[in-house]
Chains A and B, each alone.
Chain A
Amino acid sequence: MTAKDLRKGLWVAFFTVPGLAIVFAVILLPLFMSLFNSLFHWNQLIRGDFAGLENFRKIFAAEPYRTRFFNALGNNLKWFVATMLVQNTLGLLFGYFLSRRVAGHEFFKRVIFIPVLFSIVAVGFLWGLYLKPNGLFNSFLKLLGRPDLMKAWLGDESLATFSIIAVNIWRWVGFPSLVFLAAIDNVPVDCLEAAYLDGAREPTVFVRIILPLIVPAITVITVLTIIGSLNVFEQIYTMAGLDGGPNFSTDTIGTLFYRTAFGSVDSGNPEIGIGSAIGVVIYALTFGASIFSIASLRSREVEL
């Protein structure tokens, strides 16, 4: 190694080591600790015997963990499906409307994005108040002359999850809207002009030309939706409480994980082993989804 190489090596170390050290200590080390801890029995904060995959078996097959886990996972699935169907479709629609530069589009673009900046906690508490039985939303229904539609939006087991998802859509729909707007703005004008010259109608242009050309944006939004749906926590915490009430109907992996890690699922004590196992499952699901999406993004890029 020459002196020049050494100098270069030292400079590279100087630039990368501070960041690497933090990423290693806060992201990578805890990942391996989670994997390791999930393979042991724990008594509170004290590590016991090697347990093999016992903790994972418990989540998937032993009560009360099994019921709680699959109930929560089912709700995460509801989050994903409802968000894809409602929020992202709405976002695509808004993005398309805005891309046609209708009057006031700059104003609408800015307004739609406002709640995206707010903390989930503030939005959750605000709508938590509005959705109370005596809150603004029910008063509004009464004002419309439809008191028959008044509901306990967060108190009814069959409604609560969807009410919370609706609030989250209110907060976040601006994000996919503007991502889709940017994607549609990037569709080559020649393609659209050619279609218009051929006399294509607006729905045809949208389905045949715009949609196929914004597939990368659709993939990005899908991935972010998967990750977001797996990470739901604050929304439940603020609107339904840590137990995912009423009667666990709004429980998600995030809230279940928190209760397991800091105590209250079974014995009321933190359960490090089972908590770590749930953490590992969250890692695996998120990582798998990201890899899958990146792979499919790559294949689309070749197509285009």
Chain B
Amino acid sequence: MTTDFHFRSAGAGRKTLILVMEIVLALYALLIFYPLVNMLFSSFKTTRDILRFPFALPTKLDFTNYATVWIDKGFGRYFLNSLWTTAGAMVFVLLFGSMAAYGVSRYRYRLSTLVYMLFLSGIMLPLKAAIIPLFILMKSAHLVNNPLSVILIFIAMGLPSTVFILAGFMKSVPIDLEYAARIDGCSDWGIYRRIVMPVVAPAVSLVTIYNAVPIWNDFFFPLVFLQNDRWKTLPVGLTSFFGQHSTDWNLLFTGLSIAVLPILLLYLFMAKYFIRGMTAGAVK
């Protein structure tokens, strides 16, 4: 394309510009990589070595720190808690969200705009600001220290954007497909499940990433509702771990590595989907 910059065919002025761009980008890449590499290295060092020789390579590849943090310090449990809460919430975000999107985009009725607006209102209301009434409600429902509380809130967090994005895609599914299915005796549920959902499958993968990453990372609601060590999610577990072991830097770096590596590995294999999914709300 004419807008692409190629170093070899460029004039002197543009050559300088390209060089500047490359240097800036390379330096920034280094600024991202080095702190992560240092974190990994530090997880194999002793606290003494981390403080005395912060830039040195670890002398041996010893996984005792990982075993300690994963088993003794409960990170294995925190990890599973995060996994189940996220998965549990996502199942319902996708099910109820796609159903609601279908209900507002594929039928004509007087209240459809109102229903749509009710869902959209959630996009503009910061859920954190409602923590006091939410706490009162959860307490009276005996859901404090029960992962259901957080799952319920995560579902509500994910529904508005899911309805917004999926309704947009569902509107463009040709109505003729629906007529054909109806003539073949398909029920409304059948049309939703067999016709519309398969067509919007790419958008479903988009909203999955768009919601699953913030839910996996969420700290505020598990902090308030899951104080029992049995149910703590990874971010909350990491927090209490930092409170208890503030001087064992090797363990702290190990805990951080455990918190960061799984999502990094996933990203290596599906970077394109992550980028498209997470920017889905802001890019049209």
Binding site for B on A (CB under 8 A): 8-9, 11-12, 14-16, 18-20, 22-31, 33-34, 37, 45, 93-94, 97-104, 107-122, 125-127, 129-130, 134-136, 139-140, 143, 170, 175, 178-179, 182-183, 189, 192-193, 196, 201-202, 217, 220-221, 224, 227, 230-231, 233-234, 237-238, 254, 257-258, 261-262, 272, 275-276, 279-280, 282-283, 286-287, 290-291
Closest to B124 in A: A290
Does B5 contact A113, Cβ atoms closer than 8 Å?
Answer: no
A233 to B213, CA, bound (A): 18
Given contacts A109-B275, A179-B282, A202-B17, contact A121 B239 (CB under 8 A): yes
Provided the pairs A23-B119, A125-B252 are in contact, do residues A97 and B131 lie with their beta carbons within 8 angstroms?
no
Other than the known A33-B136, A100-B5, A108-B28, what 11 A-B pairs have Cβ atoms closer than 8 Å? A15-B99, A15-B192, A16-B100, A29-B137, A31-B125, A104-B22, A110-B271, A179-B279, A233-B128, A280-B129, A283-B129
Known contacts A37-B133, A114-B267, A117-B274; A26/B156 CB under 8 A: yes
Interface centre among B17, B28, B133 (most CB of A within 10 A): B133
Please list the 3 inter-chain residue pairs (A to B) with the smallest Cβ-Cβ separation, ordered nearest first: A15-B103, A26-B156, A33-B133
Residue of B with least CB distance to A280:
B129
Q: Are B217 and A31 in contact (CB under 8 A)?
A: no
Known: A34-B132, A115-B32, A117-B264. A23 touches B159 (CB 8 A): yes
Q: Flag if A220 contacts B126 (CB, 8 Å).
A: no
Which of B22, B28, B121 contacts A103, CB < 8 Å? Answer: B22
Q: Known interface pairs A16-B99, A18-B99. Does A28 touch B134 (Cβ–Cβ under 8 Å)?
A: no
Q: Quick one: which of A100, A201, A262 has the most chain B CB within 10 A?
A: A100
- Which residues from chain A contact B274 at a C-beta distance below 8 Å? 113, 117
B235 touches A119 (CB 8 A): yes
A-B CB contact pairs (8 Å), 27 listed: A11-B103, A24-B118, A25-B137, A34-B130, A97-B21, A98-B25, A100-B4, A114-B36, A115-B32, A117-B264, A117-B274, A117-B278, A119-B218, A119-B234, A121-B219, A121-B235, A122-B260, A125-B239, A136-B35, A192-B2, A217-B282, A217-B283, A233-B220, A237-B219, A238-B242, A257-B128, A279-B132
Query: Is A16's CB under 8 angstroms from B115's CB?
Result: yes
Contact B39 A126 (CB under 8 A): yes
Q: Measured between alpha carbons, how far is A23 from B124 in the docked complex, in Å?
A: 13
State whether the Cβ of B87 lies closer than 8 Å to any Cβ in chain A.
Answer: no
In the complex, which residues of chain B have a beta carbon less than 8 angstroms from the beta carbon of A15?
99-100, 102-103, 188, 192
Q: Are A19 and B238 in contact (CB under 8 A)?
A: no
* Residue of B whose beta carbon sits closest to that of A289: B124
Q: Which residues B154-196 have CB closer than 8 A to chain A?
A: 155-156, 159-160, 163, 188-189, 192
Asked whether, in the complex, the Cβ of B130 is within 8 Å of the Cβ of A129, the reply is no
Which B residues lie within 8 Å of A202 (CB)?
14, 17
Q: A192 contacts which chain B residues (CB < 8 A)?
A: 2-3
Contact of B126 with A111 in the complex, beta carbons under 8 Å: no
Residue in B21, B97, B192, B252 whose beta carbon sits within 8 Å of that of A19 in the complex: B97
Which residue on B lies nearest to A281, using beta carbons?
Answer: B129
- A118 interface neighbour in B24, B137, B263, B271, Cβ under 8 Å: B263
Whole-angstrom distance between the alpha carbons of A8 and B256 in the complex? 52
CA–CA, A16 to B112, complex, Å? 10
Given A22-B159, A108-B29, the answer on whether A139 and B130 have CB atoms closer than 8 Å is no
* B69 within 8 A of partner (CB): no
B199 within 8 A of A: no
B279 x A175 contact (CB < 8 A): yes
Task: Give the CA-CA distance A279 to B126 in the complex, in Å.
Answer: 9
Is B104 in contact with A118, judged by CB distance below 8 angstroms? no
Q: Is B122 an interface residue (CB 8 A)?
A: yes
Q: Which one of A12, A25, A107, A170 lies within 8 Å of B31 (CB-CB)?
A: A170
Q: Which residue of A lies closest to B1 (CB)?
A: A189
Whole-angstrom distance between the alpha carbons of A118 and B217 in the complex? 7
Do A20 and B118 have beta carbons less than 8 Å apart? yes
Complex Cα gap A29–B104 (Å): 22
**CB of B96 closer than 8 Å to a CB of A:** yes
Q: Answer yes or no: B259 CB below 8 A from chain A CBs.
A: yes
